[in-house]
Chains A and B, each alone.
Chain A
């Protein structure tokens, strides 16, 4: 039962990264690929109706984690206290930048929010990457399953490391590159003319850096976290996850259509995250001191009754949610036309 919930939480978080990932990616790239205000409006309009729903995946994923694995939720959220707070501030800034930019037309108002949008999106990509790096590397859990990490110490990935060390920063860079490509492919899918071409070119150039960084972090991850080797050696069928990621990575290159490229990027991100989740299982949060203190699917799960009853509302609830998303994305399907963007509620 706990394993089912592990899978569900992992999938929810992966969906968050795929969906909000393109919002963040669009934020990262928009200053580089737009030439004028109409084009910037087009980028915002491409994510305007959906970004907020995408962010809900983080909330719902967090809520699901909370009820299924309360010990993990308590331990990781208090242990990663400072970076999480910074993430919250960045999410606030990103949200109001998207929502408030088009309320006022002024040469001081709009550029300000454009920069806030880009900066917050980029930093969020980096922080989420670093968070993933920390979860893979492990944290100094104590006997009661708690810890507290400073932002940085000496940048070695040893027992005394902080949130940021060379390994987690590598993952952060890879995440930044992955979401840059992802966002650029989204913009390329949703816009036209010069903007579409520039987005596409940017995606294809950054792809090389992404491919290189993926090779590096894959090798480093196996060195830093021995559990990955154990998992893949014991359950070789799990190689399907990295293979999915690889297929997505190659797909971005070889497919010609914008939609196929964007979907390849989605597949790539899902493949990477499920590989990480599979590689760690049954550990949820590894201890980098005494391995006995690691939080696992077994010792962090809530009581069985709650988990069982949870499935009864979770499955219909998520089916409904899928319907909303299919409906919303279909309603706003097609390209945003530069220059005839409606102001929305601006």
Chain B
């Protein structure tokens, strides 16, 4: 989703300047996008099916509600994306530059729309809206717009999509830095670093404010035990400190080795230094998230890495503005080595969101163990889990292998690769 936007920017630059350089850069990233997309398609299909296979009771109860958004995702975004990705990848020679730009636009729009529907689905599980409960336990949709305009969606969607732009920007900048450091494809290297750093600077800052801040306030308002667990706050206090480091000790209800900023949590949550923040002890233990340490760590990894990513991008952006970034080997090294971290931060963010929802499958309505498929035995589930782990390992190896080959080959060869063989 992030890369789709960056490719669209490259295509726009190509169209506006008429410079073949940008068209070629877009073609290079389109090849990498195609590998990513193939991965996304083949791994995405199991996700939809697992609602039915492994979460039958949940699907039966809630299918009438979240089936809407999932079916809309298929009808409105997957068809759009997949049809025009074929046109985009195979059709550059047959189409006018404007029509080809439009195909890129539709692929990007399809992926961003897909993100909306999937976030709407997750948002409904985090904060159910627009439903009524039937006597037989079925959850019925009562307001279509209540489902699609769930207040939870807004910040979560922006936070997620801008996170995708952060990842895309870091990947582009890292590849560009790699080219500059190895003194190959240096003209492309400069383009990639420039676009990656500018987009990355804007996006990393927007991850914290306003989107991260908005998402945090959603959690504080709707899932207060989750907030307490994320922050490692066991006791309710006025003027609560913000824990930067420390290890939650759930047995003794305390944070070991804390390194905190006094009163900062109160201010961030309620904009008042003295505000009272409820700790975990204010809630019955059966409403605590199941795995408090993991939730705490994943949240802190996300925030910590996010802060580092902002720092790197701002530093590089400043150097770019001064006109010296392309010669600054240490900064280019830093950009290149940062490559894995946005992926880790994104994963940690999703772990935070989903662990934070526990012990609920649908917040406040259905507990997680109540949603499983009653007839699928643990042995069968383990069998398929091992199968998926095996196949995904193969996919990961193939992905890294193919993408690194494309990067090795570089954008200069792209023209020959699409020429007749």
Q: Verify B56–A74 contact, CB threshold 8 A.
A: yes
A148 at the interface (CB under 8 A from B): yes
Chain B 34-58 interface residues, beta-carbon cutoff 8 Å to A = 34-35, 38, 41-43, 45-46, 48-49, 51-58
Tell me whether A67 is interfacial, beta carbon within 8 Å.
yes
Contact A88 to B49, CB < 8 A, known contacts A66-B71, A318-B75: yes
Q: How far is B375's CA from A88's CA once the two chains are assembled, in angstroms?
A: 20
Per-residue A-contact encoding for B134-149, CB less than 8 Å = 1, 0 else: 1000101110100000
A75 nearest in chain B by CB position: B56
**Could you say which residues of chain B place their CB within 8 Å of the CB of A58?**
45
Is A81 an interface residue when CB atoms closer than 8 A count as contact?
A: yes
Given known pairs A49-B87, A63-B75, A148-B375, the reply for A74 and B63 (CB within 8 Å) is yes
Q: Decide: A70 and B83 in contact? CB cutoff 8 A.
A: no
In the bound complex, what is the Cα–Cα distance between A84 and B46 (angstroms)? 9
With a cutoff of 8 Å between Cβ atoms, the chain A residues found around residue B142 in the complex are 305
Inter-subunit contact A331/B87 (CB<8 Å) = yes
CB <8 Å contact, B75 and A60: yes
CB of A303 within 8 A of CB of B53, answer no
Are A78 and B375 in contact, with the CB atoms below 8 A? Answer: yes
Residues of chain B within 8 A of A313, CB atoms compared: 72, 75-76
B72 close to A317 (CB less than 8 A) = yes
Minimum CB–CB distance from B32 to chain A (whole Å) comes to 9
B38 touches A85 (CB 8 A): no
Interchain CB contact (< 8 A) of B418 among A60, A76, A344:
A344
Of B88-96, B240-248, B347-355, the one touching chain A: B88-96
Cα–Cα, bound, A327→B99 (Å): 12
**Inside 8 A of A84's CB, which chain B residues have their CB?**
49, 53
Interface of A is mostly: helix
Residue of B nearest to A323 (CB): B83
Residue B78 interfacial (CB < 8 Å): yes
Is B64 in contact with chain A by the CB < 8 A criterion? Answer: yes
| Contact (A324, B38) CB under 8 Å given A67-B70, A85-B387, A303-B64 | no
Majority-rule SS of B interface residues: helix
B141 near A53 with CB under 8 A, answer no
Contact between B34 and A332, CB atoms less than 8 A apart:
no
Q: Is the CB of B53 within 8 A of A85?
A: yes
> Nearest Cβ in chain A — how far from B71, in angstroms?
4
Contacts of B58 in A (CB 8 A): 74
Q: What size tier do the contact residues of chain A reach?
A: 35 or more
- Which residues of B have CB within 8 Å of A327? 83, 87
Contact assessment for A75 and B60 in the assembled complex, using a CB-CB cutoff below 8 Å: yes
User: Which of chain B's residues has its CB closest to A77's CB?
Assistant: B52
B402: A residues at CB distance < 8 A: 100, 103
> What residues on A are CB-neighbors of B48 within 8 Å?
59, 62-63, 66
Name the A residues within 8 Å of B417 (CB-CB): 343, 346
- 8 Å CB interface, A29-72 against B: 41, 48-50, 52-53, 55-56, 58-64, 66-71
Contact of B59 among A50, A73, A99, A104 (CB under 8 A): A73
Chain A contacts of B85 at CB under 8 A?
A: 52
Q: How far is the CB of B44 from chain A (nearest CB, A)?
A: 8
Question: Among A49, A81, A306, A314, which residue has its beta carbon within 8 angstroms of that of B90?
Answer: A49
Cross-interface CB contact of B391 among A62, A69, A89, A320, cutoff 8 Å? A89
Distance in Å: Cβ of B83 to nearest Cβ of chain A: 4
Taking CB atoms and an 8 Å cut-off, the chain B residues in 73-107 that contact chain A are: 73-76, 78-80, 82-87, 89-91, 93-94
Bound together, the chains give a CA A320 to CA B76 distance in angstroms of 8
Does A95 touch B at the CB level, under 8 Å? yes
List residues of chain B with CB within 8 A of the CB of A62.
48-49, 52, 74
Chain B positions 118-159 with a Cβ under 8 Å from a chain A Cβ: 134, 138, 140-142, 144
Across the interface, B140 reaches (CB within 8 A) one of A92, A96, A306, namely A306
Q: Which A-chain residue is minimally distant from B81 (CB atoms)?
A: A56
15 A–B pairs (Cβ distance < 8 Å), ordered by A: A49-B91, A52-B86, A56-B74, A66-B51, A70-B64, A73-B60, A88-B49, A96-B42, A302-B140, A306-B64, A320-B79, A342-B418, A342-B421, A343-B417, A345-B89
* Additional pairs, 17, CB under 8 Å, beyond known A302-B67, A340-B421, A346-B417: A59-B78, A63-B74, A66-B63, A66-B67, A70-B63, A77-B59, A89-B391, A91-B45, A96-B42, A100-B38, A147-B375, A309-B68, A309-B144, A331-B91, A331-B94, A332-B86, A344-B89
